[in-house]
Amino acid sequence: MSEKENNPVTEQNPPLKKESEPLLSKRRKKFISDPLVDDNPITLQVLGICSALAVTSQLEPTFVMAVAVIFVIVFSNLITSLLRNMIPTRIRIITQLAIIATLVILVDQVLRAYFFDVSKLLSVFVGLIITNCIVMGRLEAFAMGNKPWDSVLDGLGSGLGYSWVILAVAFFRELLGSGSLFGFKVWEAIGLGGMPNNGLMVTSVGAFIVLGLIIWVQRSRTGYVEH
């Protein structure tokens, strides 16, 4: 829509050659920046909560989960966008699911082959990326109606928006619950070896609390109100 406003095509002055948009134009940068804060999939749309709660007790599996989700959302957006004019409308949801499921199974198989310990920790939650509403939502709402490059950027934006939130949750949960970051004992390193661990942070209750606080801080800053 904004494309038309920027390049008004008038009868008197028909453009001979349509100027191509820069790869990272202002409009396209918004695809990445919007989901980071203003339209964050977790804190504003409150999607993908299940995995955000389940895998965030330590940073390492959370990081792998974030990479997996970014990979799946970017490539499923790209593939869906490339196929968008071929996919029959009546079976579009099944087609989207097949694309996501294929990518997720690939990720799962690779993890099992090369990162066995992490895949044991993530267990079923890698498979559950298939049902992650963030991925499905982007395919249906964006990739079905937009060009491939735009879709890749949109997927990257949503993936990063998801990632920073779960990493932030995991940071506090691992620090307060286990006293470490990426398995590195932080309190002992700075000479506070006696720092007690908060058992609540290791359970999913801790994730609810941290996530709630992050959403609170963010919404009080952006002024977003639920209607």
The least distance separating another protein from the CB of residue 207, rounded to whole angstroms, comes to 13
Site for another protein, residues 45 to 84, rule: CB under 8 A: none
User: Which residue from 3, 25, 109, 199 is in contact with another protein, where contact means CB under 8 A?
Assistant: 109
DSSP string, the chain: -HHHHHS---SSS--SSPPPPPTT-HHHHHHHHGGGTTT-TTTTS--SHHHHHHSTTSHHHHHHHHHHHHHHHHHHHHHHHHHTTTS-GGGHHHHHHHHHHHHHHHHHHHHHHH-HHHHHHHTHHHHGGGG-HHHHHHHHHTGGGS-HHHHHHHHHHHHHHHHHHHHHHHHHHHHHHHSEETTEEHHHHTT-TTPPP-HHHHSHHHHHHHHHHHHHHHHHHHT----
| Residue 189 in the binding site for another protein (CB under 8 A) | no
| Residue 97 in the binding site for another protein (CB under 8 A) | no
User: Mask of contacts with another protein, 133-162, x by CB under 8 A?
Assistant: ------------------------------
Could you tell me how many residues of this chain bind another protein (CB under 8 A)?
22
| Residue 196 in the binding site for another protein (CB under 8 A) | no
Q: Which stretch binds another protein (CB under 8 A): 109-117, 129-137, 147-155, 217-225?
A: 109-117
User: Which residue from 21, 36, 78, 95 is in contact with another protein, where contact means CB under 8 A?
Assistant: 95
Residues of this chain that interact with another protein (CB under 8 A) are 86-91, 94-95, 98, 102, 105-106, 109-110, 112-114, 116-117, 120, 183, 203
